[in-house]
Structure 1
Amino acid sequence: MFGKGLLKGLSITIKRLYGPNLTEYYPEVKPVLPSRTRSSMVLEPEKCIACGLCVHACPNQVISLTSEKDEKNKKVLKTYEMNMGRCLLCGLCTEACPTKALKLCQVYENAVYHREELIWDMMARSRQTNRSSRKED
């Protein structure tokens, strides 16, 4: 009985030793994610009509937005915040958005040190991504 267990353990160890390498060199080499990965949210404020459907669709009340009417009596998005500490990345808010202004994306480096940093100002984040994409061009 003792010999069978020992031989089985050694066979597993030898298979792992000479098998394929499973180590990822994460900071230096970014992993290739599957296309359906849900890791973060992106807002395109110019597309948003401030209808509030995403707010009502969210099961955890993650989203809060404010709007105001412009000179044409049309709603304009003023602020858009998400508490990512409560977000499940379920995608119900993106499905409810009629203009597809809110999208799930594959940005996965979202770790923070303080809980207050989990409240994202999506308007400011969209401006930062626009600036960084212009610098790359």
Structure 2
Amino acid sequence: MFGKGLIKGLQITWKEFWAQKLTVQYPDEQHPVPERFHGRFILDVDKCIACSLCANACPNKVITIKKQKVGKKQFMTDYIMNIQYCLFCGLCVESCNKDALHFSQDFNMNQYFYRDLPLVLVQREAPAEPVDEEAPAAKAGDDKKAKAKPKPKAKTDKPAEPAADSEVAAGKAPDKEGQ
């Protein structure tokens, strides 16, 4: 029938005309956003291993990651997103295997100046020395060694007193302190 689409459109318009209006006074009140809303990006730097999976998954190449090798580990120095080209598709968040990149509920990302548009999530210097994660384990191991029985040493021609002094200096013989 001719005009069937026109009649359906007018029915929807007539229904919406009589429906209750929903107005949110924006700065004072905020409209609730869904739980899975794609807003501002949040990066958990402690979880990120600088693998660049998120940058490779982005169809518009929005993410720029700069990393530096310190010792045997990669250290992320810069994580910058050119948000003006972002589609908010979520492929970068899905590709992160450590769950370091997330969306927040913040939708107000407007900027006045064009130079402020890139979203800088991380910008820091790489450490000069390699970060040792085994240091706390070594300290815990020292406590166990201090409580363990000392191993018998091989006999030497030196007198026993210098060995006792080295034990006092190392803190292993508390009964002979100050001698």
The normalised TM-score by structure 2 is 0.57
Q: Quick one: distance in 1 between partners of 2:119 and 2:37? A: 20
Letter paired with 2:98 = T
1:74 maps to amino acid: K
Q: How many pairs align?
A: 110
Q: Secondary structure at the match of 2:30?
A: coil
Map 1:33-112 onto structure 2 (within 5 A): 33-71=33-71, 73-112=72-111
Q: Which runs of 4+ in 1 moved over 6 A?
A: none
Secondary structure, counterpart of 1:122 in structure 2: strand
Instruction: Provide the rounded CA distance (Å) in 1 between the counterparts of 2:48 and 2:109.
Output: 24
CA contact (8 A) 1:62 1:82 kept: yes
Moved more, 27-36 or 83-92: 27-36
**What CA distance in whole angstroms lies between the structure 1 residues aligned with 2:62 and 2:115?**
14
Which has the larger Rg?
2
Q: Tell me the distance in 1 between the aligned counterparts of 2:102 and 2:34.
A: 16
Structure-1 separation of matches of 2:92 and 2:113: 25
Give the fraction of aligned pairs with identical amino acids, expressed as a percent: 35
1:122 partner amino acid: L
Matches of 1:79 and 1:23 in 2, distance apart? 41
Task: Give 1:60's aligned amino acid.
Answer: N
Tell me the TM-score normalized by structure 1.
0.73
1:12-41 Cα distance to aligned partner (Å, 9 max, x none): 5xx54xx52311111101111111211221
Contact map agreement 1:58 1:93 (CA 8 A) in 2: yes
- Cα distance, 1:114 vs structure 2: 2.0
In structure 2, stretches of 5+ residues that fail to align are 1-9, 124-179
Give secondary structure in 2 for the equivalent of 1:80: strand
Q: Which has the higher strand share?
A: 1
Distance in 1, Cα, partners of 2:60 & 2:69? 27
CA distance in structure 1 between the aligned counterparts of 2:81 and 2:115, rounded to whole angstroms: 11
Q: Give 1:123 deviation, angstroms.
A: 1.6
Give how far 1:88 is off: 0.6
> Structure 1 residue 113: deviation in Å?
1.6
Residue 28 in structure 1 maps to residue 28 in structure 2: yes
Q: Which amino acid aligns with 1:120?
A: L
The structure with higher relative contact order (CA 8 Å, sep 6+) is: 1
* Counterpart Cα distance in 1 of 2:97 and 2:106: 23
1:76-108: CA deviation from partner (whole Å, max 9, x where unpaired) = 111100000000110101111111111112111
